[in-house]
Amino acid sequence: MARTSKRSSPAFARLAARFAGAAEAERAALRAYEAGALGLEEREDDSGITLLLYAPVEAAAALREALASAQPAPLEIGAIEPVPDTDWSERWKLGLGASVISERLVVRPSFVAHALAPGQVEVVIDPRQAFGTGSHESTRLALEWIDRLAPQLAAGARVLDVGTGSGVLALAAAALAPVHVVAFDLDPVAAHEAQVNAERAGCADRVRVFAGELRALAGPPFELVVANLLRSEALPLLAELAARTHPAGRAVFSGLLATETEIFSEALKTAGFTPTDVRHREDASGERWAALLTLR
């Protein structure tokens, strides 16, 4: 997984931080962006996950302080290092390719060509300031569930994308089925990116994006809800999401580590969801991710 930005600055610094596992690195990445990081590289080996974080020189000290105070704390934080001049407009593209989700769906950046199979649709989305390109296991798991469930959605069905990021899940649902999607994110930058991506995909008439909280959402319930969130982010929303899911509707919860599914399933039942199936994917570090399918 890589998060990137095309913003520019006269001088950049790099900071390396090592973490025991994917969940810790994911939380640290979110904290790093809040503290001023504009991009990162992720490297995995037997000892854990190392994030190489990039930020303007003037923001590097605050970034290091934010990481040092994170919980759980990094196993190790390196020194702040100046970065040689780099063509960041091209650097961010390295290592990114097309993600073939199924025989029906492909997700790719605009600068990667891919020949579609007969009947296959694509979501073209570039990594920018918002998370979600289809390459991370949690995103891919959510896309796999959308791909499986889309044929069962009636024309005009309503889909909710919780914490939309780049909008990749919303765009996939709109590409695979004649549905109407509502997507939202707490981050106004992410919401803007998702709206722009919907316009570029030509489906802005069926994908409505807003920046704000779930409680700001009005309208009838949804036949499908998809939430690709960390467990700590999803848990406070479960009861409200259940209230906004159509009776006999389905909800997908991704962003979970496999070890978290049992506890999370109990929370789902308390909120009014019935877990019915689960998908797993393992990342390069050996961490196993899960995405639960539930029935309302």
Q: What is the pLDDT of residues 233-252, one digit of tens each?
A: 999 999 999 999 999 999 99
The CATH number assigned to the domain with range 99-295 reads 3.40.50.150
Question: What is the reported pLDDT for 9?
Answer: 39
Asked if 209 and 183 count as a contact pair (C-beta separation under 8 A), the reply is: yes
Give the lowest-confidence range in 29-43, 102-116, 121-135, 213-227: 121-135
End-to-end CA distance of the chain: 32
Domain layout of the chain by residue ranges: 12-91, 99-295
Q: Which fold has domain 12-91?
A: Alpha-Beta Plaits (3.30.70)
Give yes or no for residue 214 having a pLDDT over 50: yes
Query: Which residue type occupies 32?
Result: A
Q: Is the pLDDT of residue 137 over 70?
A: yes
Confidence of residue 84 (pLDDT cuts 50, 70, 90): low
Mean pLDDT for the chain overall = 86
Q: Quick: pLDDT tens for 27-49.
A: 788 778 778 887 777 787 777 88
Give the CB-side neighbour count of residue 289, counting CA atoms within 13 A: 25
Global pTM? 0.71
Domains 12-91 and 99-295 share a fold: no
Range name among 55-59, 170-174, 248-252 with the lowest pLDDT average: 55-59
